[in-house]
Structure 1
Amino acid sequence: MTKKINNGADKAVYTTCRCNCGSNSQCILKAHVRDGVVVAVEPDDRYNTGVGREDEVLSERDLIKTHLQRRPCTKGLVFHKYMYHPDRILYPLKRTPNSRRGEGKYTRISWDEALTTIAGNMQAIRQKYGRYSIITPYMPNGTVERLFSFWGAGVDSWGWCSYDASRMMAHIVAGERGWDYHEYMSGSAADMLANSKMIVIWGYDPTVGSSGPAHQLGWFIKLCRERGRPVIIIDPRYSVGAEILADQWIPIKPGTDHAMFLALAYQLFKNEQWNKQFVEKYVEPDGFAKWKNYVLGKSDSTPKTPEFAEKICAVPAETIRALAELIATVKPAWLLAHWSLSRKSRGESTVRAFAALQAMMGYWGTPGAGPPLIIGPRRNIPVNASWGPPGDYEAPKMYRSHYWAQAVLLLDQVRSGELSEAEYMRRTGWRTDPSLVKDFHPKMLFWGGGNKPHASDHVVTACESANTQVKAMLKMDFIVTMHSIMTASTRYADVILPAQDWMWEEKNVFQSGAYGGFECINYCPGVVDPPGEVRPWVWVYTKLAEKLGIDPKKFFKYYTTDENWDQDWERYQKEGYHGVVDYYKKRNIVVPSWEEFSQGKFINCDELDEKPFTGWDAQIKDGKPFKTKSGKIEFYSDYIADQTNRGTGQHRDHTGRVYENLPADWGELTPLAVYENAVRGMDDPMVKKYPLMMLAPHARYRVHYLFWDHHWLKDHIYRHRVWLSATDANARGIKDDDPVKVHNDQGTVVMPAYVTTRLMPGLIVIHHGGKFLPDESGVDFGGSPSTLLGGDVKSCITPAKAANLVQVEKYQGNQK
């Protein structure tokens, strides 16, 4: 199906990294290929070739135009080794007869047998249990949703991770749908360097979370600091970023940033330092009045003073006052509230409070002011061609993807009468017709993972207990997944399909991921041929559609025959790239031809604009109204205030557009951003039993489930440990490297301790994505924080909660 691209001679090929680390498709690698094998990888050399310190030779304009090498980080430079991983899946597999799910025993089968088995199970399960019996786990799968649309059955989930709270608030506050990134992402690294006078960051370490090629955003922050602009980082951890980039580090209790935003707003109101002209022009007045009365304490008799905030967030009142004065006088200040703040209970209110604070400062679309919602840039560049119209069936969004297992397991309680349908819908994030609960019979799990060639390793990446997910998987009649390597999740499948590596083996045009800082359009040219019987993922769906009796040309309109697949796929790619060419042609900008682009002359979007990207141009520069009902920024939601809207299924705004991240029952979500203590946070009464709050940030050398088995990034490079403050360790008699038991009502993890002074007391850190290695009782010896997540059945389900309360004690049992 693919032709060999090498005949023994070395060949240099440019490609883009698909690591999904926050730089997603930003970094460029120069791969050296010999005999169809990647033998060496170099960083980007298309700009400033041979220059190490680019800032020493570039002008300020060059820096602002980002005429820079898009160098990858360590993870990108070693990613090619995954193609040759000993656990690489090379052929379709079926679970060996009489083996148990989770044992990992599989037998090789043909593609025809695999697709016939999958289609046969889909048809049998649909016939027995109805059209709502085939589901997806975390994350939603847009491609199988398309398959379902032609087949007339199936269920998909809704919601991803990172910043779902911001996606929801983009619609509620600004009238922009959560997935229309180009409408509400704002600010850029170039804008920060060109225009900001000060930088204040909440909850983010720029040396780990990339938000640009490798750590380029962190480097731009360093350049700003070298130009005399103060940098303040507010974070519970004394991170590497706080250590090397910041002039001041302010520790704060996690989950309480909202209280600090309220106190900053109070100081702005008290000292008449808010932007009255901006608010009058762009903010809906009744909601603003409610916000002002709440902040000043007129509506609840509690002024949100710095002293009020100090009791909650543990930041001294004098520090908050000083910060408020800095923000009010050093303008424009580049303020960034990272999405980590919202990945806790009531995170949606944290997002809304910060957006309100930015509006008070007049910092929506203002050069040098940072993003009120999510950092950009994101331009409305059409990259992907259409596959053709979908079918007539629309797969219902029956549950929040993180809580797919609860959606399965709680049904028994509903049908026994222990749990009401209304409570079931609230706990699972139901987002469709309530009458369908009675028809929901989940019996087959089809892989999730978005529009990717592989499934997500949901057991360790979803914000739900791994053990709960295992219980739900064991209730399935049939499970099918697709991946390139064996993971904690694939081990429970009945059929596993081998997936291409989308960075090295797939051909695809990519617009850089919506994680901010910079923007580009790059290409993965299919650097090497896939091994074994690995097939393109779209081909797999197309052939499965055919097995189900669907015309494959309707599923993927470019398909002609299997023999012509490579040509069909390139035709699709070229047509998508024509959209990019047309976008820039309308702006009188010439971009590389397809031939030039596919050979490595990729597009640096930032250098093609006259000025750095700021966002909100339509409203702030062109004078168009916001897409809210009032046409302005709305601090108060009339829709949420109207309780008759609760529980009605799929919610729609005043124009009929679906609120894509708002569940039917939004729990304790309030119409105004009022402060409430986080459920399972440091002020929850549950601390009496579980006194430590666990955070699950990304590690420097790990991305989600990737790199845990990478032999170049183990041992002395990265040691997976539970981070514990020296204060909490001493109180428990725990020393560095002691085995400890971390537990709560969701699960138990056993792993070594790392005792540090870089954490506030009362916190622990277990880095996200660790392997799930359970013993017979479900105790996890791999150290996955997901084993400990879940349990919040009170607050709004939209935030992807990556924190929980736990207890830590010395482990006295046998080491596994």
Structure 2
Amino acid sequence: MKVINLSNIKGGKAVGINRRQFLKATGISLGAVGAGLSGFDFDAWAEEHEKAEVEISPSLCNVCASHCGMWIHVKNDRVWKVTGHEDNDRSLGRLCPRAHGGIDWVYDPDRIDQPLKKTEDGNFEPVSWDEALDDIADRLQQILDEEGPESVFYAHNPRRTGVFYGNRLMHSLGVNTICTHNAACNTARTVGFNATMGGVPTPDLANSEYMLLLGRNYGGGIRTNQLKGLQEAVRKGAEIICVDPRQNDTATIADEWIPIRPGSDMALVLAMSKIIVDEELYDEEFIEEYTYGFEEFAENLDEYTPEWAELLTDIPAEDIERMARDLAEAAPAAFVHPNWRGAFGCNYENSTETARAVSCLNALLGNANAEGGLRFYHGPDTGSLDEDEYPAPPVPDTRRADGAGEDDGFPLATSHGLPHLLAEKMLEGEVNAGIVRHHNPVRNFPDYDHMSSGFDALDLLVVFETQMSETALVADYVLPECSFAEREEVIESRGGKQGTLAMRTQAISKIHPETRSYDDIIVDLAERLEVDEYFQFSLDDVNRAILEPYDISLEEFKQKGSMMVDVPEPDEAPVFNTETGKFQFYSDEFERHGAPPVVSWISPDTGLDVEDNQFRLVQGKEAIHSHTATANTPQLAQITKDYNTNRLWINAERASEMGISDGDEVKISSEIFSDRCNVKVTERIHPETVYVHGGYGNRTPFYSTAQKIDSINPNDFVKYQKESIVGHAMINEVMVEIEKV
């Protein structure tokens, strides 16, 4: 029996394609090998395979959460290349570098190729599917019986298949604690916009005349359709202002890059709002007809002068005034970007209030559903399973273990959940079991020791993965899914200027026979847990039901893979999904839960002042990697090495004062962690800031390619902490010291 020993792996291959599987994939028979390839004509074999036709199958990229539409080009049952799907709203015929590099995932020699069980000595051994699922079901049922459904959670990267099958299983078991990867990106942003607008709108990039981007980097966090919209805006002469501590990729094509002190964006927004209100540059008709609490908001702006904001942001008062007036002049075809992660996704103690402030500034412009402003797009109509024939389990009202939405926890938190807080509950023994799918919370949240120790303390942790991630390392069972090219999934629906229906179809045969699709595993597990009454349907049944409103069969749709459908234009008179039905400058809900009803200045938890030897460490995305998930893909790793993208950015003047030159190795130290890294010395970053991409520093020994890239992961330096309003992880709340090695 093959045993995977964690303690002895030094970067070599842990699991992979064996010789039998390789020969099967190439079409060479084992008999030919046994006979020393006697009689085997390599030239004829090569010629036959060279003449084979290229077939294409529609799919969805799996490298990041955007799930762009793609065509997978296959020859001899092997992926040759991928191209963008022209009838998909996310790709529009184009794909980013990550999508092309993602082919490596399919053939990664470090892939998990069979179910793995952790042994008593902490290593892993292969087991059969029956043995794994029988034991998982028995142990999970025992925990449910003894500790209750409040002690169990499900965490995943929320896409249609994981939501449909995973949530359905959890609900059938009475489990209400469901967390998503979004908690690592945009909890504060979402809460802030929900409290004011009742939802998060989409910028109408192509028609905007003036856009202010607070940390939003379209050149790093790529969606090809949004880049096309940005390109159209540039062509039409839109003014683009990038406010960011670092001159990011998008700032290089902007009209202006304005460096800002990290964590002070809220002060900038409040001061701009004061200018617009004091000079009566706001949309009076919109304010009067569609808003609630404007007077209280306006009165609260008195102290937030541009001069006050200059001291906090490092941006001259005259520039703050100019931006405010220019923004108002271009309205309503103007916006301050609602962001994704950027400056206020879940970065600082003040991120929730920064999101509310940004939303309020947009409301002053009257840009809700205006062309060139912020729009609430409709999604396409979809059908669903007949509940008389296929009953769905009721959504449980059991308590969430992470306190999200709970009165005695974080009542304002979203259903994204709080995975970092779950780790605390695990250590306290309040959470005992969990299922994680296509999600790596141990590595992608701050404080590795906190996250790893928490998840390791569970009585049962089951991880569905294709790679041996850091979360998989502490699992009791690792269940191998097929790669995205080897499986079919539930049809996804998305709203936008055009609605889109899209699905992943199986493009190639399974490379590893023991891997399975998620829906298949969940149905098998549900049967063992005796809740299979909620799963008496096939994947095809689900997809046929989704397509019911359209004149297309499932068989026809599988050939298309993606199609854009007409959806209604956004309502000209905006309708806000809030308590009052209006835009809320004043939040009664916040007030009921002890939070400020009107947005007011809050400082970052670490303050804004830095000592002579200190820097604020910030992180962000780059175009070639998706978090830490792609560090093991050779094509993308090679780009990292060729262009040294894994270096720490440091301001040239500060570096000179410290005797540090470009390429030098430095030691970075925070309150909880120290590590070494090479530096990129540049004038393109605020002097009080150092920056590193967040996609490096994997801790798993099973990523043999990633181990060849020396770099740091910013999450290691940030301690476990909880923002006071919604409990998010405050991923940029850290000061570090730098010294030359």
Q: Give how far 1:82 is off.
A: 0.6
Structure 2 residue identity aligned to 1:39: W
Counterpart Cα distance in 2 of 1:236 and 1:83: 37
The two structures have a TM-score, normalised by structure 2, of 0.81
CA 1:732–1:468 in 2, change beyond 3 Å: closer, same or farther?
farther
Within the candidate set 465, 478, 486, 2:447 is matched to 465
Question: Identity of paired residues, percent?
Answer: 21
C-alpha distance 119-670 of structure 1, shift in aligned 2 (>3 A)? same
1:728 aligned partner: 654
22, 26, 32: which one pairs with 2:73?
A: 32
What SS does the aligned partner of 1:713 have? helix
Partner residue, 1:111: 129
Given candidates 360, 363, 367, the residue that maps to 2:367 is 363
Give runs of aligned pairs for residues 566-605 of structure 1, distance below 5 A: 568-579=538-549, 581=550, 593-600=553-560, 602-605=562-565
Matches within 5 A, 1:312-323: 312-323=312-323
Question: Do the aligned residues in 2 keep the contact of 1:705 with 1:769 (CA within 8 Å)?
Answer: yes
Does residue 163 in structure 1 map to residue 113 in structure 2? Answer: no
- Structure 1 residue identity aligned to 2:79: V
Spell out, residue by residue over 1:153-179, the C-alpha distance to the aligned partner (whole angstroms, 9 max, x if none). Answer: 674447723322233234322345xxx
Q: SS of 1:720's equivalent?
A: coil
SS in 2 for 1:489: helix
2:713 to 764, 781, 784: 784
Q: Would the alpha carbon gap of residues 323 and 117 (structure 1) be closer, same or farther in structure 2, given more than 3 Å must change?
A: same
Query: Quick one: structure 1 residues 378 and 72, their matched pair in 2 at CA, closer, same or farther if it must change by over 3 Å?
Result: farther
Among 212, 224, 229, which residue is 2:233 paired with? 224
**TM-score for both structures, normalised by structure 1:** 0.74
Using the alignment, how far apart are the partners of 1:594 and 1:524 within structure 2? 13
SS of residue in 1 equivalent to 2:738: strand
Asked whether the 8 Å contact 1:288–1:636 carries over to 2, the reply is yes
Mean Cα deviation higher: 715-724 or 754-763: 715-724
Indicate yes or no: 2:576 matched with 1:635: no
Check the 8 A contact 2:213/2:243 in 1, yes or no: yes
Contact 2:63/2:99, CA 8 A, preserved across alignment: no
Label 1:609 to 1:783 Cα distance change in 2 as closer, same or farther (>3 A): same
CA deviations 1:202-254 (Å, max 9, x no partner) are 2122222223x3xx4234323322333322222221122211x2122222222
- Residues 347-383 of structure 1: CA deviation (Å, up to 9, x unaligned): 1111111211111111111111235xxxx64525337
Which residue type is aligned with residue 335 of structure 2? L
Residue from 100, 103, 121 that aligns with 1:80: 103
What's 2:430 paired with?
A: 441
Q: Of 217, 223, 242, which aligns to 1:205?
A: 217
**Hey, what does 1:350 align to over in structure 2?**
354
Q: Are 2:516 and 1:527 equivalent residues in the alignment? A: no
Q: Is the 8 A contact 2:504 2:561 kept in 1?
A: no
Contact 1:460–1:771 (CA under 8 A) maintained in structure 2: no
- The Cα shift of 1:68 comes to 8.8
Pairing of 1:85-484 with structure 2 (within 5 A): 85-98=108-121, 100=122, 105-136=123-154, 142=163, 143-152=165-174, 155-157=177-179, 160-175=183-198, 184-189=200-205, 192-193=206-207, 196-211=208-223, 213=224, 216-243=225-252, 245-284=253-292, 287-295=293-301, 297=302, 302=303, 304-337=304-337, 338-339=339-340, 340-342=342-344, 343-345=346-348, 346-370=350-374, 377-382=377-382, 385=385, 388-391=391-394, 393-399=396-402, 403-404=418-419, 406-409=421-424, 441-444=430-433, 446-448=434-436, 454-462=437-445, 464-484=446-466
Aligned residue in 1 for 2:15: none
2:628 maps to 1:705? yes
Please report the RMSD computed on the Cα atoms of aligned residues, expressed in angstroms.
Answer: 3.3
Kept in 1: contact 2:290–2:583 (CA 8 A): yes
| 3-state SS of 2:598 partner | coil
Gaps of 5+ in 2: 1-24, 28-47, 405-415, 702-708
Deviation of 1:269 (Å):
2.0
- CA distance in 1 between partners of 2:87 and 2:589 (Å): 51
Whether 2:2 is the aligned partner of 1:13: answer: no
Q: Which of 491, 516, 519 in structure 2 is aligned with 1:509?
A: 491
Task: Kindly indicate whether the alpha-carbon contact (under 8 Å) linking 1:185 and 1:378 is maintained by their aligned counterparts in 2.
Answer: no
Could you tell me how far 1:276 is from its partner in structure 2?
0.9
Amino acid at match of 1:277: E
Which AA in structure 1 matches 2:212?
V
Change (3 A) 1:75 1:384: farther
- Residue 793 of structure 1 and its aligned partner are, at CA, apart by 4.3
Amino acid across the alignment from 1:556: F
Task: Report the 3-state secondary structure (helix = DSSP H, G, I; strand = E; otherwise coil) of the residue aligned with 1:456.
Answer: coil
Q: Distance in 2 between matches of 1:166 and 1:272?
A: 27
Superposed CA deviations along residues 136-161 of structure 1, whole A, max 9, x for unmatched, are: 45768754443243334674447723
Farther off after superposition, 317-326 or 8-17: 8-17
1:767 has 2:717 as partner: no
Task: Report Cα offsets for 1:379-418 as digits up to 9, x if no partner.
Answer: 25337657631157444322157754544546878xxxxx
Q: What corresponds to 1:807 in structure 2?
A: 736
Distance 1:730 1:117, change over 3 A: farther
Q: Secondary structure at the match of 1:541?
A: helix
In the TM superposition, what is the alpha-carbon distance from 1:795 to its structure 2 partner?
2.9
Secondary structure, counterpart of 1:525 in structure 2 = coil
Shift of 1:270: 2.2
- Does the 8 A contact of 1:746 with 1:788 survive in 2? yes
1:483 Cα offset (Å):
0.3
Match of 1:650 in 2: none
Q: Is the contact made by 2:150 and 2:175 (CA closer than 8 Å) also made in structure 1? A: yes
SS in 2 for 1:696: strand
Q: Which amino acid aligns with 1:397?
A: R
Alpha-carbon distance in 2 for matches of 1:456, 1:763: 29
The one-letter amino acid paired with 1:725 is N
1:612-655 per-position Cα deviation (integer Å, ceiling 9, x unaligned): x5x4x1xx43x7x644333321111123223xx45xxxxxxxxx
Distance 2:710 2:554 in 1: 49
- Distance apart, 1:540 and its partner CA: 0.9
Contact 2:463/2:472 (<8 A) preserved: yes
Distance across 1 between alignment mates of 2:579 and 2:141: 45
Name the counterpart of 1:52: none
Q: How many residues end up aligned between the 2 structures?
A: 659
Cα offset, 1:76, TM superposition = 0.8
Deviation of the 1:467 alpha carbon: 1.1
